[in-house]
Amino acid sequence: MQTLLDVILPVFIVIGFGYVSVWRGWFPVSGIDGVMKFAQSFAIPCLLFQAIAQLDLSVSFDPRLLLSFYGGATICFALGIFGARLLFRRDWEDCVAIGFCCLFSNSVLLGLPITERAYGPDALTGTYVIIAFHAPFCYALGITVMEITKNRGKSVGSIARNVGRAMFRNALVIGISAGFIVNITGFQMPEVVDDALSLIVRAALPAALFALGGVLIQYKPEGDMKAIAMVCGIALIVHPSLVWLFGTTLQLPQDFFRSGVLTAAMAPGFNAYIFANMYGRARRVAASSVLIATIASIGTVWVWLMVLA
């Protein structure tokens, strides 16, 4: 119970503040949209840029962590696609959007603050390693499969151009890429610029969590409940279970093991809805899955924290 109070509830209370503020009319929807745009398009890319730029790449990147997490994520993506097709007879494009919900864990808005509160700032290295590849990997996989599905019969070059355009318009990908460039080249950021970035970074997670609550109230769960339940089960139970299995088999160090399992246990990120909206497919399933899984994860994350203790 103490873990629930100390680690999980503060994060969800901030989300709740955003939810209630919009629900009661204390904060306008247009304002929430602005806060979310600031967080996702500016503050969080700055956070990821700074974190990646300062990572010690020689000791941080363990291929076993990436294999465990993204191997599990890819299996869940496939389970979501074929589950939606075989169980619910959805169009293939809808199936890919539903599969993306099973693929994209909320690694930044939920994974970072919960992992930090559970294990401290020094335990975030593995989480940052996962995040460094998260948006590029998930968008590359999701967009590629969707473009192949949509453009059956078109040339490989045409599909590759569509994937490239979508990838490098993503602010998270840009922030991560810039961080890698600074890290690899050894470029020293001027102290005044680094201090300014730190000010922005401190606002990133609280602003994003508050905005997430305000966004979630706009999408009421209605219909498609079986598909939504499938997404929630795959995202909250199957993915962390697979990472546990792979991480145990590969003998991951404890900090990386915890980061992998806990990040995998997060609800689908809001990017799942962004992806569905980008293609106009399964938007109701995506929005409702984000909402319901986020609420359900209060209990499931508590269980995973108990298991990892």
Q: Among 76-90, 145-159, 229-243, which is the least confidently predicted range?
A: 145-159
pLDDT digits (tens, 9 = 90+) for 197-249: 888 888 887 888 888 788 777 766 666 889 999 999 999 999 999 999 999 99
Residue listed under structure tokens 């070059």: 157
Query: How far apart, in whole angstroms, are the C-alpha atoms of residue 224 and residue 101?
Result: 14
pLDDT digits (tens, 9 = 90+) for 117-136: 888 887 888 898 898 888 78
Q: Which of 132, 140, 122, 131 has the alpha carbon at shortest distance from 180?
A: 132
Side chain identity at residue 8, one-letter code = I
Return mean pLDDT, the chain: 86
Query: How far apart, in whole angstroms, are the C-alpha atoms of residue 88 and residue 84?
Result: 5
The whole-number pLDDT of residue 3 equals 54
The whole-number pLDDT of residue 59 equals 63
CA atoms within 13 A on the CB side of 164: 6
183 and 55 in contact (C-beta within 8 Å)?
Answer: yes
- Kindly tell me if the per-residue pLDDT of 60 is higher than 80: no
DSSP at 269: P
- In the chain, the number of structural domains is 1
**Domain with 40 in it: what CATH number?**
1.20.1530.20
Query: How far apart, in whole angstroms, are the C-alpha atoms of residue 309 and residue 303?
Result: 10
Q: Could you list the residue range(s) of the whole structural domain that residue 295 is in? A: 2-308
Query: How far apart, in whole angstroms, are the C-alpha atoms of residue 232 and residue 226?
Result: 10
Q: H-helix or E-strand containing 163? A: helix 156-167
111: tokens are 């994974």
Query: How far apart, in whole angstroms, are the C-alpha atoms of residue 155 and residue 226?
Result: 36
The backbone torsions φ and ψ at residue 266, rounded to the nearest 5 degrees and listed phi first, read -75, 155
